[in-house]
Amino acid sequence: MKTIDLRSDTVTLPTPAMYEAMARAELGDDVLGDDPTVRRLEERAARLLGKEAALLTASGTMSNLVALLAHCQRGDEVIVGSEAHILHHEMGGAFALGGLGLRAVPNDGQGRLDIPALEEAIRPRHGYYPPTGLVCLENTHNRCGGTVLTEEDTAAIAQVAHRYGVPVHLDGARIFNAAVALGVAVERLARPVDSVCFSLSKGLSCPIGSVLCGSGEFIARARRYRKMVGGGMRQAGIIAACGLVALDSMVERLAEDHENARLLAEGLATLPGVHLSPPPQTNIVYFTVEGWDPSELVRRCSQVGLLCLTEGRRVRMVTHRHIGRPEVEEAVERLRRVLAVHA
């Protein structure tokens, strides 16, 4: 029985073109600035996102961490959404390694920050308050269901933060999903913010990597912090080569993942007791099933070769390039059998 893996778009494998690019990549010592393939990827990423410079990192978590370190001083407070990946899924690196506090502002169902709450959370620069060093956004928003922030959503937050002299970082791990869903250039979604990162290793199908973009001065600081946290990779061109292929060939096909997520959600909605929360905008589908503990349901699904994950009190399924319409239909059928046997 074929396994249908809907745990995450991080399970994607490199394409044949990526394997070929890795084998042929020009290499050098990137810590010394000598890897031409890394330099090409960083230059291309900076142009695409509309920023001056870029930095290849090992992961989205590393990109976010070095961004926080480069923007802030120890003792600063970073404002994040209540459902932010930085808050929930990055091992407390901001606290442990940066000496930074994270202050949560409510996310709405779309992943947007509440603007009045944001203004209230920005600290006055006097008295006994920790300085507000940074505001962070997320697009697409993982825990809110792969929801999309528009350019206007991001600009509204950036306008408030910049009025108080506070920079804005965008965790754009899946920002290309957002751009494809909205039908806009990715640069427009990054334009209002001071720094932005995106993952190569999710829907873009690279085996590893993330790219952080910002001003030249910011990236120079971030490069030092990347080295500090152990992210100075040497002949990293073998990673960057995949990223160049991904930017050439893997962005527009994200629309297929979004369509398959929609079909998956429609199929799930036909099953007894299934409630979608919310309907998918991109490639992430969250749902609950009446009378089922999510962890038990995930365990039962794994027994029939259907892999998914729990997220709090919900089940999460994520579409990606290894999942086509036949796999979607089979996933719904396997879940139907699980629910029928254990009703």
Rama region for 204: left / alpha / beta (φ>0; ψ in -120 to 50; rest): alpha
Structure tokens at 71: 């923007």
The model's pLDDT over 51-67, given as tens digits with 9 standing for 90+, comes to 999 999 999 999 999 99
pLDDT of 261 above 70? yes
Site of tokens 């994270």: 102
What pLDDT shows up at residue 44? 98
Question: Could you count the other beta carbons within 10 Å of the beta carbon of residue 207?
Answer: 16
Query: Rounded mean pLDDT of 180-207?
Result: 98
What pLDDT does 8 receive? 98
Mean pLDDT in residue range 134-138: 98
Q: What is the mean pLDDT of residues 122-136?
A: 93
> pTM to 2 decimals?
0.97
- pLDDT number for residue 1: 85
Least confident of 9-18, 56-65, 120-129, 181-190: 120-129
Mean of pLDDT values over 290-312: 96
Helix (H, G, I), strand (E, B) or coil at 119: helix
CB 13 within 8 A of CB 216: no
Q: How is residue 181 written in tokens? A: 């869903």
* CA proximity to 225, closest of 137, 49, 98, 90: 98
Of the chain, the percentage scoring pLDDT greater than 90 comes to 96
Q: What is the structure's pLDDT at 127?
A: 79
Provide the mean pLDDT of the chain. Answer: 97
Domains along the sequence of the chain with CATH: 12-249 (3.40.640.10), 253-341 (3.90.1150.10)
pLDDT at 343: 63
Helices (H), 58-164: 60-71, 85-88, 93-98, 115-121, 151-163
CA–CA separation, 97 vs 145, rounded Å?
29
Q: How many CB atoms are closer than 10 A to CB 300?
A: 18
Mean pLDDT of 2-28: 98
